[in-house]
Amino acid sequence: MSSQTRLTRAFENAKRIPFDNKSKFILFSDCHRGDASFADDFASNRNIYFHAMNHYFTEGFNYCELGDGDELWENLFFKEIFEAHKHVYLLLKKYHDSNRLHMIYGNHDMVYRDKNVVKKKLSTFFDPKTGKDEPLFTGIEYHEAIVLENLETGQHLFLTHGHQADFMNYIGWKINRFLVQILWKPLQVWGIKDPTSPAKNYVELIKIERRIKRWIADNNNIITITGHTHRPRFPNINDNSINYFNDGSCVHPRSITGIEIVQGTIALIKWFIDTKSDGTLQIVKEVLEGPIKLTDYQTKKV
């Protein structure tokens, strides 16, 4: 099965979510939440992520996580990840309880495509205060893709992780998981990078982006938003542009990037730690690109 066929299948089987020009969504991906060990890339940005997600919850946003939220290649047990970042998961639970949590699986949390695994791992957590299991993400579903459907304009937005365009991280994900668990995680402490990751392999990254762009061009230039490569992408508006977006990741050095969809517009944003004039630190948001009206990205043949 080719990458084009895999992307088409993901689109056709995607969960459909209606929205309008009053809706608000924040899209993050590639959090790679780990066990707070030296190999946990999320740990250094955890406070930034938590602050941003608190802001979005208060402001009434829906949260779409575009895959690789949990690092289940380096870590065998979700329980260890949950204990390391319990306050983050309890915040995500608030989104879930208010029907504002929409989850996509990627290659590092591919096991979540199995509904039984999701139910077993994520439905409850043990609370030492009560001495019993308490609800966590009861009834949650993970999807390979989501399509946002604008009820006012008829425009569709295709959200997926993007590993469909990466053979070894889609078909061969179990092999790569084995290599990461056995070989690359122990070597990471010495600064040796994992070559299976497109984020650390520029040649492979470019190939993946080209495959995704080819699919978009062959499918009416539908707005497509992915993660996987960790490289933020925000297309220009012109007759020759391909409507390919990438929200980046939550494991950049000292910052996280994401995409906001707010009242019919789209923007690429970054949250990071900044220094005030008096020397104290603060977490701030910067708009990197946009906001641009979604309707400016016309669906058309390319």
What's the whole-number average pLDDT of the chain? 90
What are the structure tokens assigned to 101, written together? 């949590």
Q: Against a cut of 0.75, is the pTM above it?
A: yes
High-pLDDT (> 70) share of the chain, %: 91
Does pLDDT of 194 surpass 90? no
pLDDT bucket at 199, cuts 50 / 70 / 90: low
Question: Residue 169's closest CA among 233, 89, 107, 117?
Answer: 107
What pLDDT score does 153 carry?
Answer: 92
% of the chain surpassing 90 pLDDT:
75
Q: Where are the alpha helices (DSSP H) in the chain?
A: 3-12, 46-58, 78-84, 86-97, 115-122, 167-170, 173-179, 185-188, 202-218
Q: Say what the pLDDT of residue 92 is.
A: 98
Band of pLDDT at residue 188, cut at 50, 70 and 90: low
Whether 68 and 13 have beta carbons less than 8 Å apart is answered as no
pLDDT digits (tens, 9 = 90+) for 100-146: 999 999 999 999 999 999 999 999 999 888 899 999 999 999 999 99
Q: For residue 119, what are the contacts with CB-CB under 8 A and spacing of at least 6?
A: none
- Ranges 13-17, 125-129, 250-254: which has the least confidence: 125-129
pLDDT at 302: 39
d(CA 180, CA 73): 6
- So what's the pLDDT on residue 137? 97
What angle in degrees, to the nearest 10, is found between the helix axes of 86-97 and 46-58?
A: 20
* Residue range 268-289, pLDDT digits in tens: 999 999 998 888 999 999 999 9
| Amino acid in position 1 | M
CA angle (162 as vertex; 158, 155 as ends), nearest 5: 10
Structure tokens at 117: 């695994």
Q: What is the pLDDT of residue 184?
A: 59
pLDDT the model gives residue 193: 58
268, 235 Cβ separation under 8 angstroms: no
* DSSP letter (8 states) at residue 71: -
Whole-number pLDDT of residue 39 = 80
Give residue 301's pLDDT band: very low, low, confident or very high (50, 70, 90).
very low
From CA 179, how far away is CA 259, in angstroms rounded? 31
Residues with Cβ within 8 Å of 21's Cβ and at least 6 positions away in sequence, in order, are 150, 152, 153, 263, 264
Residue among 148, 144, 287 nearest 223 (CA): 148
Between CA 68 and CA 149 the distance in angstroms is: 24
Gap between the Cα atoms of 212 and 17, Å rounded: 22
**Tens of pLDDT along 150-160?**
999 999 999 99
pLDDT tens by residue, 60-95: 999 999 999 999 988 889 999 999 999 999 999 999
